[in-house]
Structure 1
């Protein structure tokens, strides 16, 4: 049954009130290790079933602020210490309304040594990066972050303004001449660093428009596919925990031929595609 706009707004309001109350309670007990472990145990079972999730010798190092300056734009760097073993990466923000923020699957054209992106953190929460190895093992890293209201923070503009240019994409490559952000990129076989920027509001469904005073329906990127020629670089399946206007820093192996093609999709059926030429490496 399709709900009216008013009913949808009322439901969003009730959900937001409940989330705020439960978030405040969790924040008050945010340093309770036992509570956080119990939450993760439930999430782990929901996401991975009976598969073991190891903690020894983590394969991912996370760089996150201990306390977020802006809970809607929290910078995250994930460094893979044994990149050739990793075929996928799960990013879980335990106490967000939708805890599974992103699932990356790496292809043969990826150089998965480092990923950078910006996330929303709704309350005091553990953040888990779970690496999946080529042989199917799951190995986790955990960091605790203090934040508040990242998923309900308003955009600070009208919905129309936030959606202007939605789907526009840019892809910047490190300067091969300077080697900036990609040491050794001028040498054959070295990874090529890239920064992907996508125009999209990533509405969470929990944000009140400050002009209309109504809750904006959820509209967020749920899939990004990047290919280099005929080879996959990565696929990211995402949810509302990825910040508005996503920026993703990644690297690809230079052996591919042809353009880098990015296909972005959202939960409302939006689809955008664009191809970018890769600068030739000097020898």
Structure 2
């Protein structure tokens, strides 16, 4: 039987399109409102030298905006990071933790952007300091964009996972891409046949392990795109595969081991 993820493979074979661009964070009232609710009394400093967030200035598709989080060689290990899309209905897109094998961080994912917005990555250092990187993205309608499918068709193959490997990265680590089939319904989309609202249904917890070593975890919401994709670099510990565990808002739990290709 042909895999339900097969149509995604060609589209996802190349690296995500996020490129560093002259689109720095812009001043606005929204962050002044959000900051104390997300960070409390902490005032984040700029993340120069620690972390960069790369995103397109103008997104080709507001429902699948590529975001890349990158640290320079030798930067301190970022263990916790919050991804915020200021103008989205649910601004906190993801809260992530990273194992030491992911340091220095180089991770790409796709998000929904509902209107022109700052996209921020707030990293917590080992000393408890908040550091912030970000970009301003011109996109609109991402959270309400029509789903690729709805009803039973959308749920067929839910939780199916695929691994794609890219061999050694320039820094000597390995590079991999994990793909998960899930509709990631935002609660703001209509069924294109019935025109009824589709209830929210999304991945709320994702864990990726290399054997018994945690690579990263994600607590997410409606801003992570349909059929999520995560491309990342990691230090290989010799484990034969990745263990990926997904839990969604409907209580579905899928855990799968994805065998690695032998190191060359």
TM-score category (smaller protein): 0.7 to 0.9
- The TM-score, its normalising length taken from structure 2, stands at 0.85
Residue in 1 that maps onto 2:10: none
Q: Is the 8 A contact 1:108 1:231 kept in 2?
A: no
In the alignment, the residues of structure 1 paired with residue 75 and residue 247 of structure 2 have an alpha-carbon distance, to the nearest angstrom, of 27
Per-residue Cα deviation, 1:189-231 (whole angstroms, up to 9, x for no partner): x321110000000000000111111000000011110111211
Deviation at 1:95, TM superposition (A): 0.5
State the SS of the aligned residue for 1:260. Answer: strand
After TM superposition, the structure 1 = structure 2 runs for residues 156-175 of structure 1, keeping only pairs within 5 Å, are: 156-175=148-167
Residue in 2 that maps onto 1:144: 136
- Relative to total residues, which structure has the larger helix share, 1 or 2? 1
1:53 counterpart = 2:44: yes
Deviation at 1:260, TM superposition (A): 1.4
Deviation at 1:156, TM superposition (A): 4.3
Residue in 2 that maps onto 1:95: 87
Structure 1 56/65 Cα, relative in aligned 2: closer, same or farther at 3 Å? closer
After TM superposition, the structure 1 = structure 2 runs for residues 172-183 of structure 1, keeping only pairs within 5 Å, are: 172-175=164-167, 179=168, 182-183=169-170
- The TM-score, its normalising length taken from structure 1, stands at 0.79
State the SS of the aligned residue for 2:157. Answer: coil
Deviation at 1:277, TM superposition (A): 2.3
Among candidates 70, 73, 88, match of residue 79 of structure 1: 70
In the alignment, the residues of structure 1 paired with residue 159 and residue 249 of structure 2 have an alpha-carbon distance, to the nearest angstrom, of 13
Per-residue Cα deviation, 1:220-261 (whole angstroms, up to 9, x for no partner): 011110111211111111110010000100122112434310
In the alignment, the residues of structure 2 paired with residue 158 and residue 86 of structure 1 have an alpha-carbon distance, to the nearest angstrom, of 38
Deviation at 1:85, TM superposition (A): 3.0
1:275 counterpart = 2:240: no
Q: Is the 8 A contact 2:243 2:255 kept in 1?
A: yes
Residue in 2 that maps onto 1:113: 105
Q: Which has the larger radius of gyration?
A: 1
State the SS of the aligned residue for 1:202. Answer: coil
Q: Which consecutive residues of structure 1, in runs of 5 or more, have no partner in the other structure?
A: 1-32, 185-189
Cα root mean square deviation, aligned: 1.9
Range that drifts further, 133-142 or 83-92: 83-92
Deviation at 1:262, TM superposition (A): 0.4
Deviation at 1:104, TM superposition (A): 1.4
Residue in 1 that maps onto 2:208: 226
Range that drifts further, 64-73 or 80-89: 80-89
Among candidates 192, 203, 206, match of residue 174 of structure 2: 192
In the alignment, the residues of structure 2 paired with residue 265 and residue 115 of structure 1 have an alpha-carbon distance, to the nearest angstrom, of 21
1:266 counterpart = 2:257: no
Deviation at 1:41, TM superposition (A): 2.0
1:43 counterpart = 2:37: no
- The count of corresponding residues between Structure 1 and Structure 2 is 239
Deviation at 1:144, TM superposition (A): 1.0
Q: Is the 8 A contact 1:109 1:227 kept in 2?
A: no
Q: Is the 8 A contact 1:104 1:236 kept in 2?
A: yes
State the SS of the aligned residue for 2:52. Answer: strand
Range that drifts further, 57-66 or 204-213: 57-66
In the alignment, the residues of structure 2 paired with residue 158 and residue 202 of structure 1 have an alpha-carbon distance, to the nearest angstrom, of 11
Structure 1 215/115 Cα, relative in aligned 2: closer, same or farther at 3 Å? same
Deviation at 1:143, TM superposition (A): 1.1
Range that drifts further, 195-204 or 109-118: 109-118
Deviation at 1:157, TM superposition (A): 3.1
